[in-house]
Amino acid sequence: MNNKPFVLVVEDDSAVRNLMSTTLQTHNYRYITAATGEAAILQASSQNPDIILLDLGLPDMDGVDIIKKIRTWSNVPIIVISARSEDTDKITALDAGADDYITKPFSVEELLARLRVTLRRMGTNVKQEDAIFTNGELRIDYSAGCAYLSDDELHLTPIEYKILCLLSRNIGKVLTHTYITKEIWGSTLESDVSSLRVFMATLRKKIEKNTNSPQYIQTHVGVGYRMIRV
């Protein structure tokens, strides 16, 4: 039985779409494809994929709008694969609800690694812990897998939540970029460090009242990050 996830590939460039399809087929992934935003939304709603690989530059609509539409009914993991490499583009996609972001051109190995990480997250049950972490107005209910700020639930992506939990469980300690990327993505690639900076920016926007003067997460330039006891 094929236990690998069912992947929806959304890409209008036929060469890139064929490369991704061939890669998935070679590694025994089940997949379907879509070349337009309209087709992607239809496939996502009718075929119930486990993971979506999404290009942002589609002919009929922007990929960010697709993410927003899908997020109205589904939490399916969405990995963006785009030629847009600016941090602002990444932040916009992640804020809209994307779970990960790969910049074109990408290697087949990186694509497979991202899929494996997503698969591990999908197959890992949340640890049942009685403890509820509290730091100032920030509260994390580990057993429920939820985080709150001033009793308002934070709408975090899976990776944002995982980073927040990692920092909270090591409060007061400086965690290096390498340590964090190893824990979150299982690797220490330079692209992971770049992704970490983007995810940290989006996480801070959600938990910090003033991102220019962060209260909870302190940056140690060139080293890593530390959660401060408030």
Mean pLDDT computed over 167-189: 85
Confidence of residue 121 (pLDDT cuts 50, 70, 90): low
- Kindly state the average pLDDT of the residues 117-122: 70
- The verdict on pTM exceeding 0.75 is no
Q: Which amino acid is at 77?
A: P
Cα 9 to chain center, whole Å?
17
Q: Which of 49-63, 124-138, 164-178 has the lowest mean pLDDT?
A: 124-138
Q: Quote the pLDDT of residue 132.
A: 86
| pLDDT of 126 over the 60 cut | no
Question: Please, are residues 171 and 229 in contact by the beta-carbon 8 Å criterion?
Answer: yes
Q: Which residues contact 60 (CB under 8 A, 6 or more apart)?
A: 36, 37, 38
Asked if 226 contacts 174 with a C-beta cutoff of 8 angstroms, the reply is yes
**What structural domains does the chain harbor?**
6-123 (3.40.50.2300), 132-227 (1.10.10.10)
User: Is the predicted pLDDT of residue 192 greater than 90, yes or no?
Assistant: no
User: Is it the case that residue 200 has pLDDT exceeding 90?
Assistant: yes
pLDDT of residue 130: 46
Q: What is the pLDDT averaged over residues 210-229?
A: 88
Phi, psi of 164 (to 5 degrees): -60, -45
Across 40-66, average pLDDT: 93
Percent of the chain residues past pLDDT 90, beyond the cut: 46
Is residue 56 a contact partner of residue 104, using CB atoms and an 8 Å limit?
Answer: no
